[in-house]
Structure 1
Amino acid sequence: MLDDIDRGLVHALHLDARAPFSRVGAVLGVSTQTVARRYQRLRAEVGMRVVGLPDPAQAGLTQWLVRLTAQPASARTLARSLARRPDTSWVKLTSGGLEIVAIVHTPVNAPSSMLLHDIPRTASVTAVSAHFLLHTYLGGPTAWRGRINALDAEQQRSLRLPDRVATDEPLSRADHALIAALHHDGRLGNAGLAAATGLSQATAARRLADLRARGAVFFDVEIDAAHYGATTQAFLWMAVTPADLDRVATVLATHEELAVVAATTGPTNLTAHALCADPAALHRYLTHRLGALPAIHTLHTAPVLETVKAVGPLRT
């Protein structure tokens, strides 16, 4: 479990992933050295890392939620194989280790290049379905509320960045190189960004500031929810009456137990990712909170056994 300083640091990084340690320390009321030590300890001991990600719309990407059912002996190997691909994220083993769930990112102008063409040729896969992500109500640049409740309102105001203003300006090759470097380390310094892109340090810093201002890049903080006491995870696949979908999804996005809420295509049109303290807490959530929403006609719960890959590159 994390102490108050650890939690405050993680919350601060959610608000401004590249904030100087001196600024974070001033907000938390500790020294710059303490923040730096805690950051390095969290990286080394609990695997925390800051990851830079492109805004899918501005990067020309679509997202698919893919579900694979595989033979028990090969499911983990297949999940690792999918996780090594650069076009996947959130690769998880669910449902007793027989199902793999992953997000696949594909170019808008080349959907036929997606890995879905490869999956049916894999003999160990016994079933596959793909769900186009239509709208994200919770997730992406927002975070599970269990990780962003450590700082008070004044502390959050001191760290929160100005609202992003999206534009139609296309990403350049240098922009893509910047985002690719930040994908490996969201706090990479200007010297490292310059080396990765071939730009000068000043140009790299200026270009990154522009990308952040228009929301073309955002940052996530990877850290196992178990360190916050959430030891039970599950995907929730729901079928909701179309006329009620937006209302139900908006309500679900306010639930503290959920980290992701998204509308999708397919026989289930709403999916969510639940994080609960234990199986009993998940049961209470399903029966008392979701059960109180009559517009949810069907609900399939798939426990998550293992997160093979989150949003950053697969760890070696």
Structure 2
Amino acid sequence: MTLDELDRGLLHALHLDGRATFSLLGSVLGVSERTVARRYQRLVADGVLRVVGVAAGRSYWMLRISCTTDGALRVGTALARRPDTSWVHLLSGGAELSSGLQTWSDDERQSLLLDKLTRTPQVKSVTAEPVSRTFRGGQASWNALATLTDDQTARLRPDPVDTVVPGKAGPRDRPLLTALAQDGRASYTELAAATGWSETSIRRRVGELRSTGALYFDVDIAPRALGLTVAARLWLSVTPSALATVGQQVAEHPEVVFAGATTGTSNLLVVVVCKDAAALSDYLTDRLATVKAIRAVESAPILRTLKGLA
């Protein structure tokens, strides 16, 4: 489908505040509440977007899994079913997977890495690295979505996060956060049914978690809807002393939807989306190649996205 100006404005608006009311969204975008609600529902039904709640403060890991040729899709499908995975990709060649992992505890992470995956016959090897810093992705807006004016943006930005007293979700919040991970715009009535809490308690707790930075809302957008048909994961080896500078510089590239510092030989993971294969080649050889302090680049086109945001 082709997105018009209202569609793109709505995508940008939801990226700024995933739980903004349809009344506020309509006011900012200059249309009626009913119009913006219908447009949102159409975009969701067409698979263009999904708003999800993300619990901050938990460690985020990146997995790279080498599989047998006939087993990668099966393993990837199983990973995609897990509530603690995100961005499960089948990579070029069809025998390699990549995935994000954010568990509630170290024990849960170790159970997957040391028990389940290593004992799966179709899995040949697993590399797991924590993301120590995110330069692009999550709460950092994707440049390609920037269509609203400064005044419109100011009306949608949530209240500043309390950085003096950072918040942290506890075990009691897990049912609420699980429900919001499925639908970040679920009504308080729906969240009450999913958690057994009162609507008043849910409204208060969501506000507390957001105000302290323990919860934020992100938008999973189908790049093809924006005319971007080719995606790739890049593993960059950067001079350690220049990692922060390079990470910030690469994050400003409009092709980049994620950039995060990791451990290992390659210490900067980047995900890019481009118009086509030629545009990806141009990005790698023209734009990325000019960034100083990048010593090596390994790229793997994404053949299939088995799961987007958790």
TM-score by length of 2: 0.94
Letter in 2 for 1:251: Q
CA contact (8 A) 2:55 2:169 kept: no
Task: Between 42-51 and 27-36, report the one with greater CA deviation.
Answer: 42-51
Aligned to 1:275: 273
Between the aligned partners of 1:170 and 1:160, the Cα distance in structure 2 is 21
Deviation at 1:248, TM superposition (A): 0.9
Where does residue 261 of structure 1 map in the other structure?
Answer: 259
- Whether the aligned pair in 2 keeps the contact of 1:67 and 1:128 (CA below 8 Å) is yes
**Aligned counterpart in structure 2 of residue 90 of structure 1, from 87, 106, 110:** 87
Show CA shifts across 1:10-50 (max 9, x none).
11111111111111111111111111111111111234211
Going from structure 1 to structure 2, the CA distance change for 1:2 and 1:111 (only over 3 Å counts) comes to same
Which letter does structure 2 place at the counterpart of 1:284? D
Asked if the contact 2:48–2:225 (Cα under 8 Å) also holds between the matched residues in 1, the reply is no
Counting only pairs closer than 5 Å after superposition, residues 221-300 of structure 1 correspond to structure 2 as 221-300=219-298
> Contact between 2:129 and 2:264, CA under 8 Å: does it hold in 1?
yes
Partner amino acid, structure 1, of 2:117: I
Q: Partners in 1 of 2:228 and 2:167 — Cα distance? A: 40
SS class of match (2:19): coil
Aligned counterpart in structure 2 of residue 161 of structure 1, from 143, 158, 166: 158
Q: Percent identity?
A: 42
Q: Which residue identity lines up with residue 113 of structure 1 in the other structure? A: Q
CA RMSD of aligned residues (A): 1.6
Partner in structure 2 of residue 75 of structure 1? 72
- Work out whether residues 106 and 114 of structure 1, in 8 Å CA contact, stay in contact via their aligned partners in 2: no
1:46-84 deviation per Cα after TM superposition (whole angstroms, max 9, x unaligned): 3421111100x2xxx322211111122221111001111
Q: Paired residue for 1:34? A: 35
Q: Which runs of 5+ in 1 are unaligned?
A: none
Provide closer, same or farther for how the CA distance between residues 142 and 77 of structure 1 changes in structure 2, counting only shifts above 3 A. same
- Which is further off, 243-252 or 135-144? 135-144
Residue 150 (str. 1) matches residue 151 (str. 2): no
Which AA in structure 2 matches 1:218? Answer: Y
Cα distance between partner residues in 1 of 2:97 and 2:288? 24
Does the 8 Å CA contact 1:225/1:231 hold for their aligned counterparts? Answer: yes
Q: How does 1:1-316 map to 2 (within 5 A)?
A: 1-55=2-56, 57=57, 61-107=58-104, 109-110=106-107, 113-117=110-114, 118-146=116-144, 148-166=145-163, 167-312=165-310
- Residue 97 of structure 1 aligns to a residue whose secondary structure is coil
Moved more, 196-205 or 262-271: 196-205
Distance 2:5 2:214 in 1: 32
Q: 1:173 to 1:67 in 2, by over 3 A?
A: closer
Q: Segments of 4+ in structure 1 off by > 4 A?
A: none
| Post-superposition offset of 1:172 | 3.8
Structure 2: gaps spanning 5 or more residues: none
**Rounded Cα–Cα distance in structure 1 between residues aligned with 2:168 and 2:277:** 46
Q: Structure 1 residues 103-112 or 149-158, which shifts more?
A: 103-112
- In structure 2, C-alpha distance between the alignment counterparts of 1:253 and 1:112, rounded to whole Å: 28
When normalised by structure 1's length, the TM-score is: 0.92
The separation in 1 between residues aligned to 2:169 and 2:151, in whole angstroms, is 35
